[in-house]
């Protein structure tokens, strides 16, 4: 199967059976897992004892061979097996006098290079990009442009040329309408925000569709470095906070009362949570949905609640006019006037720290934030997530949580754990608040590009320093490790550091230098709710999914997942061309 290799163990030791166990390098402080018993060799027939096992190829493994008598360690081998490879492990005695045992790993059949489809897909998309760029340059030549005018509808062609490959001139402000509706855009907005949001969304769609079944397009099992998937949701939360600052300021400047804006915030929160519950509980072909197993947390639910808290907090402190603050430190005009917000956020973070590290959890050590299962040498198998998991099980119930956490495969956890649970929502609010700060920077220093970019650099640097302190620049040994499942504060500071830097780069390219229109990520970024819900609802329908010839092929999965993701980009582009945007 994918991500597996065949290992044949040949035992040439007479009268001594072997026990084979393995430990993955991705499993921190885990117990060795038993794989197979290898019988002793048959001296009369002169045939070795053999056993065949499938071994994981995603991460390096440590193989441990013990004797069945006395449980004595005979040999330990560290090796990174290749996908679909065929290997033999030969165990024999080198010297009968000293009983020295040797373990030799032999490659019978070499593995395949499962990463070639990624290279091929990259070259295809780069070719498409080159063709589009060449077309853009040709359209600047007068004879070519005039010829296109004659061949195509002049009116449609004029719109295509003036749009600069899809970069809008006027669009609506951030969605805060009281009801979902189809409307045309009407006001100017920062293209970099839509591009940032669209980039995160497109990668999220690709990952949710399977990411070609590659392990590095999956969420980290527990603690660890940030893979593509692990940082996507946080970027979405970050840019939502940025949009809140721009939207509320715009609405108040246009004369909307705070009570009217609050009603819109409450309605949008309700719709997001309702849509989230519907999306995470698909039951289209399984009959009526049972309320006993309804999952309550989810991505849109967390977005909705985070939006409610951060938008309400900003509404309480924002001013209709965004003039210069006449205080002692004008360079801090985007921070000091909002000191009540900072106190609120610090109190929230103190609550998260106290609950996480001080709340007593039955049968678990206080402050435990591990994965449970076979992690921590199997001492706390039912303590997955520590206080975070305990609070969800206590308030929501086990049946209303996510049943297949990412720690299940590596750490063999049996307890349900929801990565969008209650306690982690506190830090998603912190993440959105940092995005809100980015939005305030763009408001207070409007058209002052150097000021905006320098502050993005400062914030990114500060967040990076905090991350280094919290994690000790280590995967597992820090004060608070980076953990997407827990939404640890180090995860927030690390992802916000990258978010500030990424927003800086996109802002520079799209809004400052205008070297890039933001296409194609601009289009899904302007219809993010539609694309997100649509890709979830139609995930198992043609043309987004079809029956494969070989379900164990990374290439076929990659083709299918990239096709589905590209289709949503095309759909968002068509909607953009027709000036159709679904708003909540």
Is the pLDDT confidence value at 85 over 90?
yes
For residue 120, being part of any structural domain is answered with no
The answer to whether 219 is a known catalytic residue is: yes
For residue 117, being part of any structural domain is answered with no
For residue 116, being part of any structural domain is answered with no
For residue 39, being part of any structural domain is answered with yes
Q: What is the pLDDT of residue 341?
A: 94
- Pairwise pLDDT comparison (230 vs 392), residue with the higher score: 392
Q: Which range is least confidently modeled, 123-132, 212-221, 260-269?
A: 212-221
The stretch 175-188 carries a mean pLDDT of 40
Q: What is the pLDDT of residue 206?
A: 95
Sign of the CA dihedral 101, 107, 108, 111?
Answer: positive
Q: What is the pLDDT of residue 343?
A: 95
| 309 C-beta neighbours (distance < 10 Å), count | 20
Same domain, 416 and 276: yes
Q: Which range is least confidently modeled, 313-327, 379-393, 531-545?
A: 313-327
Task: Indicate the pairing of strand 61-67 with strand 4-11.
Answer: unpaired
Same domain, 203 and 89: no
Same domain, 312 and 218: yes
- Which residue out of 28, 191, 219, 535 is catalytically annotated? 219
The stretch 97-123 carries a mean pLDDT of 88
C-alpha distance from residue 148 to each of 163, 164, 517 (Å): 16, 15, 22
pTM: 0.87
Please say whether the beta carbons of 87 and 9 come within 8 A.
Answer: no
**CA 185 – CA 182 distance, rounded (Å):** 10
Tens-digit pLDDT profile for residues 499-524: 999 999 999 999 999 999 898 999 99
Burial degree of 269 (CB within 10 A; 0-12, 13-18, 19+): buried
Is the pLDDT confidence value at 163 over 60?
no
Same domain, 211 and 79: no
Q: What is the pLDDT of residue 449?
A: 92
Q: What is the pLDDT of residue 231?
A: 80
For residue 35, being part of any structural domain is answered with yes
Is the pLDDT confidence value at 357 over 60?
yes
For residue 178, being part of any structural domain is answered with no
How many structural domains comprise the chain? 2
Chosen domain end from 46, 75, 109: 109
C-alpha distance from residue 526 to each of 174, 184, 572 (Å): 9, 12, 8
Q: What is the pLDDT of residue 469?
A: 96
Same domain, 421 and 556: yes
Q: What is the pLDDT of residue 326?
A: 60
Q: What is the pLDDT of residue 178?
A: 35
- Pairwise pLDDT comparison (43 vs 498), residue with the higher score: 498
Burial degree of 533 (CB within 10 A; 0-12, 13-18, 19+): middle
Please say whether the beta carbons of 480 and 401 come within 8 A.
Answer: no
Distance of CA 157 to the CA centre of its chain: 39
- Which residue range(s) make up the domain with 27? 4-109
CATH number, domain at 16? Answer: 2.60.40
Question: Which residue(s) pair with 53 in the sheet?
Answer: 7
Chosen domain end from 79, 109, 139: 109
Is the pLDDT confidence value at 229 over 80?
no
Same domain, 466 and 362: yes
Same domain, 95 and 205: no
C-alpha distance from residue 507 to each of 19, 190, 332, 354 (Å): 58, 8, 21, 38
C-alpha distance from residue 533 to each of 177, 275, 293, 565 (Å): 18, 8, 21, 13
Same domain, 202 and 347: yes
**CA 150 – CA 465 distance, rounded (Å):** 58
- Pairwise pLDDT comparison (252 vs 381), residue with the higher score: 381
Q: What is the pLDDT of residue 280?
A: 84
Per-residue confidence band for 254, with pLDDT thresholds at 50, 70 and 90: confident
Chosen domain end from 83, 109, 135: 109
For residue 184, being part of any structural domain is answered with no
Per-residue confidence band for 194, with pLDDT thresholds at 50, 70 and 90: very high
Tens-digit pLDDT profile for residues 546-573: 999 988 999 999 999 999 999 999 999 9
For residue 75, being part of any structural domain is answered with yes
Please say whether the beta carbons of 178 and 195 come within 8 A.
Answer: no
């Amino acid at each position: 199967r994918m991500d597996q290799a065949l290992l044949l163990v040949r035992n040439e030791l007479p009268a001594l059976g072997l026990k084979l166990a393995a430990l993955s390098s991705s499993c921190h402080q885990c117990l060795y897992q038993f794989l197979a018993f290898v019988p002793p060799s048959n001296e009369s027939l002169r045939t070795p004892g053999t056993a065949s096992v499938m071994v994981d190829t995603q991460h390096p493994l440590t193989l441990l061979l013990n004797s069945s008598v006395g449980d004595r360690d005979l040999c330990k081998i560290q090796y990174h097996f290749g996908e679909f490879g065929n290997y033999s492990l030969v165990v024999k005695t080198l010297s009968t006098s000293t009983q020295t045992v040797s373990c030799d790993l032999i490659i019978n059949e070499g593995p395949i290079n499962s990463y070639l489809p990624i290279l091929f897909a990259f070259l295809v998309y780069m070719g498409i990009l080159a063709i589009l760029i060449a077309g853009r340059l040709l359209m600047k030549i007068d004879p070519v442009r005039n010829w296109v005018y004659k061949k195509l509808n002049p009116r449609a062609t004029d719109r295509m040329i003036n749009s600069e490959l899809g970069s809008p001139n006027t669009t609506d402000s951030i969605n805060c309408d009281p009801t979902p509706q189809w409307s045309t855009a009407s006001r100017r907005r920062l293209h970099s925000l839509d591009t940032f949001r669209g980039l995160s969304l497109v990668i999220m769609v690709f990952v949710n569709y399977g990411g070609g079944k590659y392990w590095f397009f999956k969420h980290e099992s527990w603690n660890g470095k940030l893979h593509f998937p692990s940082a996507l949701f946080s970027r979405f939360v970050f840019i939502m906070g940025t949009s809140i600052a721009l939207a509320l300021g715009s609405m108040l400047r246009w004369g909307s009362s705070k009570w009217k804006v609050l009603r819109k915030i409450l309605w949008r929160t309700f719709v997001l949570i309702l849509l989230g519950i519907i999306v995470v509980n698909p039951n289209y072909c399984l009959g009526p949905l049972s309320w006993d197993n309804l999952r309550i947390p989810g991505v849109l639910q967390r977005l909705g609640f985070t939006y409610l808290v951060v938008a309400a907090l900003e509404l309480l402190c924002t001013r209709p006019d965004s003039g210069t603050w006449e205080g002692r430190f004008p360079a801090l005009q985007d921070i000091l006037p909002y000191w009540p917000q900072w106190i609120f956020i610090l109190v929230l973070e103190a609550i998260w720290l106290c609950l996480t590290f001080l709340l007593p959890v039955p049968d678990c050590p206080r402050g435990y934030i591990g994965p449970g299962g076979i992690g921590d040498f199997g001492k706390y198998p039912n303590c997955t997530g520590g206080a975070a998991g305990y609070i969800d099980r206590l308030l929501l119930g086990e049946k209303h949580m996510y049943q297949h956490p990412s720690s299940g495969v590596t750490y063999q956890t049996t307890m349900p754990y929801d990565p969008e649970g209650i306690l982690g929502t506190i830090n998603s609010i912190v993440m959105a608040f940092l995005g809100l700060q980015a939005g305030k920077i763009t408001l207070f220093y409007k058209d002052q590009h150097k000021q905006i970019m320098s502050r993005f650099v400062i914030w990114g640097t500060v967040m990076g320093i905090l991350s280094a302190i919290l994690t000790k620049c280590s995967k597992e040994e820090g004060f608070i490790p980076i953990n997407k499942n827990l939404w640890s504060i180090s995860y927030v500071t690390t992802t916000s550091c990258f978010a500030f830097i990424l927003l800086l780069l996109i802002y520079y390219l799209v809004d400052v230098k205008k070297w890039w229109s933001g296409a194609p990520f601009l289009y899904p970024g302007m219809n993010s709710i539609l694309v997100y819900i649509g890709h979830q609802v139609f995930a198992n329908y043609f043309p987004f999914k079809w029956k494969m010839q070989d379900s164990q092929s990374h290439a076929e999965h990659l083709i299918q997942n990239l096709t589905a993701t590209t289709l949503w980009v095309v759909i968002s582009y068509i909607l953009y061309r027709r000036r159709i945007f679904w708003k909540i």
